[in-house]
Amino acid sequence: MVGIKEVAKAAGVSISTVSNVLNEKKNVGEETRERILNICKEMGYYPNSVGKTLKTGKSNTIVFNFSDFDRSFYLKIINGISDYVNDNDFDLIICTDKSSEKYMRSNLSSGSIILDKNMKDDTLIKIAGENYPIVVLDRILDNPYIKSVVVNNYDPMSELIQGVIDRGYRHFGFVGGPEQTADNKERYKAFRDVLEANRINFQQKSYFAGDYREKSGYTAAKILLLSQELPDCLVCANDNMAIGAIKAFRDNGIRVPGDIAVTGFDNCDLAEPMGLTTVSIPNYERGYIAARYLIENIRGKRNVEPFKISAKIIWRNSVSEKKSK
């Protein structure tokens, strides 16, 4: 590996002069500057960022961490982050597991965006600080150095359920996601609140605990099929599970929405071709905004007010006007 030292020797100057050239300081003669630059090119010198980081303690790098590979919209979030980061001359390290911690500490990065549910609140609170702001997606954390960027799940879910009721549906089933997650709680609460406001009864036996994966939706629907009577409408806390449910219904000769309506949440790529009524979340923008707040916080513009992103309902044919009102 050719370093600053080799270049210095080849040029017959000191390492500090080379460093000054590389960092575009003006305290170096034009002739020397050019000569050194040429030598760097000839020798194929490339700066070693580890040495630099160790010395300066700064990195202009942020970390994005996630872990669920089933959700293809994550790529859109990454796209938004990546674009903002590039436009602002930062670098981006994406990590898929707890080895993230390695890059978050050890000033290899100046801040991070956290999406991975496995990353514990406690850990984040420990890591965040004056010189290390964090942006969390899909959870709210009350900490002076952590900004939350969350989707407003409550309003669109309320509106969705009210819309379904207005179309004549009265008997509901619900497939929930991981129970501890904030977004699942919020979606479920909106569902229950609207039912209650409409004096519609909901029994706990019509609740199915899933994990946001397609398979759990499939399973929930299969279980549902064993019960005496099908609800009119199965509300799912996300699209993957809704799609799983639709597949289970179709596999068993149950028509959607003829025999049962189904709703999702996310507007994933499959929602449109499947005709799934769902809630569309602006994912690219979500990533972009998260990156923006993070970098602004890194630059000292402190702002940790939780930010709510709004989402909108997309009606498709998995819910129709109910005949027998």
Partner DNA sequence: TTGTAAGCGTTATCAA
Partner DNA sequence: TTGATAACGCTTACAA
Residues that bind DNA (CB under 7 A): 1, 3-5, 12-17, 19-20, 22-23, 26-33, 47-48, 50-52, 54-57
Q: Would you state the torsion angle of the CA atoms of residues 18, 22, 24, 30, taken in this order, to the nearest 10 degrees?
A: 50
CA separation for the pair 200, 309 (Å, rounded): 29
Three-class SS state of 277: strand
Q: How many residues bind its own copies (CB under 8 A)?
A: 41
Closer CB to DNA, 30 or 142, in the complex: 30
- Nearer to its own copies by C-beta: 148 or 283? 283
Q: Is 102 in the site for its own copies (CB under 8 A)?
A: yes
C-beta closer to DNA: residue 20 or 267: 20
Residue 315 burial class via C-beta count within 10 angstroms: exposed 0-12, middle 13-18, buried 19 and up: middle
Hunting for tokens 């569902």 — which residue is that?
191
Instruction: Please tell me whether residue 269 binds its own copies under the rule CB under 8 A.
Output: yes
- Select the binding partner of residue 108 from its own copies, DNA, none (C-beta < 5 to 8 A, by kind): its own copies
Nearest distance from C-beta of residue 117 to DNA, angstroms:
28
Structure tokens at 69: 């590979």
For its own copies, give the closer residue by CB, 75 or 254: 75
Is residue 108 at the binding interface for its own copies, with CB under 8 A as the rule? yes
Nearest-approach distance from CB 203 to DNA, in angstroms: 56
Indicate the SS3 state at residue 106.
coil
> CB 236 → its own copies: shortest distance, Å?
17
The upper half-sphere exposure of residue 228, i.e. CA atoms within 13 Å in the direction of its Cβ, equals 1
The CA–CA distances, whole Å, from 146 to 28, 153, 182 equal 43, 21, 16
From candidates 51, 197, 201, 259, binder to its own copies by CB under 8 A: 51
* CB nearer DNA, residue 51 or residue 144: 51
- 257 prior amide bond cis, ω within 30: yes
What is the Cα–Cα distance from 169 to 277, expressed in whole angstroms? 14
User: Among 91, 155, 193, 296, which residue sits at the site for its own copies (rule: CB under 8 A)?
Assistant: 91
Nearest to 111 by CA among 299, 302, 298: 298
Give me the residues that bind its own copies (CB under 8 A), please. Answer: 1, 44, 46-51, 53-54, 69-72, 74-76, 78-79, 82, 86, 91-97, 99, 101-103, 105-108, 126, 269-270, 273-274
